[in-house]
Structure 1
């Protein structure tokens, strides 16, 4: 998951009147007429206090008369940078008046004021950041024949210095749901779903999962790590909880140590990567810490583990610095700091890496994908190749070799327009890796994590659930199975939610999914997808 603000606005109206006949992506919205001129909160004063403080270009007074905006909507800004500060989600209740929630990356926050009349759907929120306030305002001021809402957004910072406002941006909001006409699942079935059973887990961002020998280790955000017995995948049962204790665990990997021991390396926002002994999965215990060079409390956002020869290495990324921190974890009780790869541009904050034989593919956010040889000496690593494009936010990757012997990198950005891209690992004369294929479902939903084995890529694709893609011909990838984990009727409605973490048991045909609102899901391949 990105550490920046979210790009677009998703807003939900849960109110009265008819739900409408759905939108281009299966959402709702209609003309109930029962919610005429509702409002919520005290009318504000000062900056961005009313629709009159936003542009009126393109507005058509009266076109919102009788509109019931019940349902989930997607708001796209123009211009629309990949990430935009102040993402939005809205809900409307006719009985209680209008109420608005603004979406953050993984949750929602209420607006301070909202009002709907025949001319405008206006909402506004203030947030304190130290000695300054961020004020954001939206107004939808035109309803088109296809049901889309058009309007304007603006934000201002307010403090002792006065106020500084960004340029207004127009937006179009359209009903938002699952991909229209797509079945709930094809080639995958739900075996089980688990979020604590009789002792439900706290409402937090379930972020990642790894499974070994019938035990699932779930990175559950601010809650910590949940350890679940999935020996019977249809009947998960919890074994233990390793609490976060005012921390946030975004990702984890498993490492087998000497004498049959096993350890979880847990990416901690507060203190590096924690080494947790899970040899006895009912009694997890921290026995060490991989602390990146630099500040004493340097956090870790993601990590990747591979074995090269007789040694096992962990590659750590913090999500904001241009560094890859390399540790030898062959014996996790005695880890060795091998060194740090420092990319040549300080703006290339490394979000995640994948690696093969010491060659590191660094998803370096605005720097794109950067390839270096981290071993044997990370400090001496230089750039070998890159994949860069406009408006990139390089996020995740996984290397595979197809049945024809072609080395391919499965790659994805994060944010609006991000999807599965397939890169040939033979750079051109200019050092650029060519993109040879891609799989696009829709721009509104970002890809997140992936794993690739031979001709198959397994993708956790946020609101578009789990996707299995055949890349036997990487120039013409084909989706061979999917499972929609996200339900627009019950999901919180954050910008980034749904399927985020994934692990695959190839022998059993099982896929383990970390889903932000639902917890741990176990899926099984069926039909032709199972072959």
Structure 2
């Protein structure tokens, strides 16, 4: 069935939330100490005016926006289940997949689900290990976790500690997940400015990790400016305890204390100064990577994974505030960059902001080899305006593997989940959606899907506040993807869906 396009009331169809049953919760800790959750990325709790609240209530009464916590979706989306948060109460973040398991990051640690029955995921283990964001990925028997908050040490019992203290720790943690019910913390690597996100480049004998981090300060002993590159970690599969930093490639060479990245405001008003990268996506089958780096978008070659080389760089100083993430299409001739306008703490999906700011940017890749260039084609943004109380922002998504089409599912915080087609890179269009109404109308609140990914026939979404959602997409345009099966998926390490060994 296709997405309805008549009136806003008809476009939003009430769905029914289902609670998952049979949960096996095992809270694993590194010791008896209780941990204090770290705050989310600029988590918003801003009071809104009575006038704004009244406008939202009026829109809710007319059916223009859903009611508080009301689930609405297009006809071609089926909401199979929701698994609420359990022992880990912090902000839910990214998801990784392996076989019948999904690995859910959370500011308090991570949770492992058995998703062999997508309608009823079962909790296999919950690991308490605070350290925002706990960006997560897996490879073989290893699980990798980012720590981007200044901690007293590298243990799972650490406490928050100022980054101005030399003894503070941030970086990568490594776990052995050969026993899914009992993950073991086995190694840690400290990295400059911590690890906001990370991306795997999995080789047969080793795993390389590209660590993205930013916001240096002269007052931070372990995060000094200019911080104009990424940390590259090498992890030997047979001896992960020997993991170490092997390079810090400079991506934005330049004179001065801030390197050569986008200078941001006041030179470019409203644009983030580039002091590192937020997220990197690699396409190992094509030896390519795309970096979303605050005020810059970059394309680089990873033929030598220890020494990535920038081959093109673009800026959008009119409509892009913060380059957040990147996604290649399957043919590696397009890249979608997202803009995290408002830093994940503002209501940006409204008429005031408009369709071009806080949107995705669709770029064509033109040329060959190291001569390739990123050429802008269009913006895409959900057109379902959200309440003034709803934090809405372009966030993490993945390709839905359909030969001959470029289709993506994407999280938009309280804007929900959008499935959109950018086969024509100049005319992208939404083909399905799922969302909940506002958490409250009293204040601007950070909630909604952080990540929404397609894996082996289903969409899995990690909702910041509500837990894990599982959706089924029934549409002739995406049905061929149901036949594609992967053994492992870290979305920022994009697979070649149709040309695998």
Fold in common (TM above 0.5): yes
Task: Tell me which of the two structures has the higher relative contact order, counting C-alpha pairs closer than 8 angstroms and 6 or more residues apart.
Answer: 2
1:323 to 207, 229, 233: 229
Q: Given the superposition, is the C-alpha separation of residues 451 and 359 from structure 1 closer, same or farther in structure 2, using an over 3 Å criterion?
A: same
Q: Does 1:240 align with 2:119?
A: no
Cα distance, 1:322 vs structure 2 = 2.5
Cα distance, 1:290 vs structure 2 = 3.2
Report the count of equivalent residues: 359
Q: Deviations over 1:112-167 (max 9, x none)?
A: xxxxxxxxxxxxxxxxxxxxxxxxxx988xx79x9769xxxxxxxxxxxxxxxxxx
Q: Secondary structure at the match of 2:329?
A: strand
Partner Cα separation in structure 2 for residue 203 and residue 418 of structure 1: 28
Q: Secondary structure at the match of 1:186?
A: coil
State the structure with more CA Rg: 1
2:42 to 105, 108, 123: 105
Larger deviation: 423-432 or 332-341?
423-432
Within a 5 Å distance, the mapping from 1:93-492 to structure 2 comes to: 105-108=42-45, 180=65, 183-196=72-85, 200-221=86-107, 223-245=108-130, 247-256=131-140, 262-269=141-148, 270=150, 271-292=170-191, 294=192, 298-307=193-202, 312-320=207-215, 321-329=227-235, 331=237, 332-342=240-250, 343-344=252-253, 345=260, 347-349=273-275, 350-357=277-284, 358-366=287-295, 368-376=296-304, 381-382=309-310, 384-390=312-318, 391-402=320-331, 407-415=333-341, 416=348, 417-426=357-366, 433-442=374-383, 445-452=392-399, 453=401, 455-484=406-435, 486-489=436-439
Partner Cα separation in structure 2 for residue 434 and residue 482 of structure 1: 28
Partner Cα separation in structure 1 for residue 330 and residue 244 of structure 2: 30
Structure 2: stretches of 5+ with no match in the other structure: 1-7, 13-39, 151-169, 216-226, 254-259, 262-272, 342-347, 349-356, 387-391, 481-501
Q: Given the superposition, is the C-alpha separation of residues 363 and 514 from structure 1 closer, same or farther in structure 2, using an over 3 Å criterion?
A: same
8 Å Cα contact 1:498/1:515 also seen in 2: yes
Q: Secondary structure at the match of 2:248?
A: strand
8 Å Cα contact 2:65/2:437 also seen in 1: no
Larger deviation: 517-526 or 373-382?
373-382
- Which structure's residues are more often helix, by fraction? 2
Partner Cα separation in structure 2 for residue 492 and residue 504 of structure 1: 34
Report the equivalent of 1:42.
none
Partner Cα separation in structure 1 for residue 381 and residue 64 of structure 2: 12
2:471 to 515, 523, 526: 523
Structure 1: stretches of 5+ with no match in the other structure: 1-21, 27-102, 112-137, 150-172, 257-261
Q: Secondary structure at the match of 2:92?
A: coil
Q: Deviations over 1:256-311 (max 9, x none)?
A: 1xxxxx1111111242111111111100111112332x4xxx42111112346765
Partner Cα separation in structure 1 for residue 185 and residue 174 of structure 2: 6
Task: State the TM-score, normalizing by the size of structure 1.
Answer: 0.59
Partner Cα separation in structure 2 for residue 315 and residue 380 of structure 1: 10
Report the equivalent of 1:128.
none
